[in-house]
Structure 1
Amino acid sequence: MSNPARIAPGGFKELGPLNWAIAKIGARGIRRPRFSLMNVLGQHRLLFLTWLPLSAHLLYVGKLSRHDAEVVILRVAHLRDSTYELQQHRRLARSRGVDADTQARIFAGPDSEGLTDRERVLITATDEFVVTRGVSPETWQALSAHLTKPQLIEFCLLAAQYDGLAATITTLQVPLDFPD
């Protein structure tokens, strides 16, 4: 993203004490001086505090395994060409057992050699969800063979969350947190 931010990352004054503290904790978590997404979204103080628990739940304690969640998130980021999400989640995915080779297979698509059946159906369902705004009956049946009802619901909310987040990041032109 070479375009200037439409809403520059804020500091203490723009975020207020609570959101500033949350953004600082987030920055520590990604080992950066700031977490640009939080420093932008945190400027809508109440909405940020409403959005953050859902986002954190989906990312850290949801019913999907952290591996499965990263497969979905990486695929959404790839489909939406979200450099910001890819930077964040390529790193996080490695810590969750999704190595560089698996990531390359996720980006190559559901027909890539070396994917598990579960990864293949997650990628297919993510592609359909993001591109067509739904999942075909055939894909839903295959996905249902791997996921429980709560996981199926969570899959939909996770894919929607990261699709919407990619659009928000792109529209607001949130600056990257990492130089690469």
Structure 2
Amino acid sequence: MSAGHIAPGGFKELGPLNWVIAKVGARVILAPRFTLFNVLGQHRILFLLWLPYSAALLGALSKLPGRDAELVILRVGHLRDCEYELQQHRRLARTRGVDQQTQAKIFEGPDADGLTDRQRILITATDEFVITRSVSRQTWAQLATHLTKPQLIEFCMLAAQYDGLAATITTLQVPLDFPN
């Protein structure tokens, strides 16, 4: 396994709290190590501030249905060619009702056969957000027919979070949790 620009840390680098969080995270994802946590956790305070925000976008505080969130995350990971993000969220997406066939359509793009109107507009909006750093008026109007105001805000925050995370993962060259 390649070490990347910042090698995954252990107890000494993470400190006791972040080390425990990384260990629990690894158990949750059924991996020997949650490499992202073992890298980001080395900035002890920033990691502790980032973690609840990130968890809120995926957990009980989320206003977007899990399927929608995973569609956006998978599309961002695809657009940014971030295998780490894709590896994590392909697995998570399946637990949230996004099967492998639907995932293939997400990667194909908004014109893929068999997507719902909601899926098409979420993919289109994600593409625009990531590529142009905005969403066109036409796309926004269509998106607004499917999402509430809080969901629209969350869509932007989610796409930005995972776009930034993909850039961070790629730049730091975070090794995969499941190299095979």
2 CA distance for matches of 1:132 and 1:3?
A: 32
TM-score by structure 1 length? 0.98
- Are positions 1:105 and 2:105 aligned together? yes
CA pair 21-3 structure 1, distance change in 2 beyond 3 A:
closer
- Are positions 1:8 and 2:7 aligned together? yes
**Does the residue aligned with 1:57 lie in a helix, a strand or coil?**
helix
Which residue number in structure 2 is paired with residue 29 of structure 1? 28
Task: Map Cα deviations across residues 93-144 of structure 1 (whole Å, 9 max, x no partner).
Answer: 0111000000000000000010011100000000000000000000000000
Aligned length: 179
Structure 1, unaligned runs of 5 or more: none
Which residue number in structure 1 is paired with residue 43 of structure 2? 44
**Does the residue aligned with 2:59 lie in a helix, a strand or coil?**
helix
Q: Report % sequence identity.
A: 75
2 CA distance for matches of 1:69 and 1:41?
A: 22
After TM superposition, list the pairs within 5 Å mapping 1:98-137 onto structure 2: 98-137=98-137
For 2:85, the aligned partner's letter is: E
For 1:36, the aligned partner's letter is: T
2 CA distance for matches of 1:37 and 1:123?
A: 26
2 CA distance for matches of 1:59 and 1:173?
A: 23
For 1:44, the aligned partner's letter is: H
Residue 59 of structure 1 deviates from its aligned partner by: 1.3
TM-score by structure 2 length? 0.98
Which residue number in structure 2 is paired with residue 77 of structure 1? 77
Residue 3 of structure 1 deviates from its aligned partner by: 5.6
- Are positions 1:90 and 2:113 aligned together? no
Which residue number in structure 1 is paired with residue 172 of structure 2? 172
Task: Map Cα deviations across residues 41-72 of structure 1 (whole Å, 9 max, x no partner).
Answer: 00000000000001001012210000000000
Runs of 4+, deviation exceeding 6 Å: none
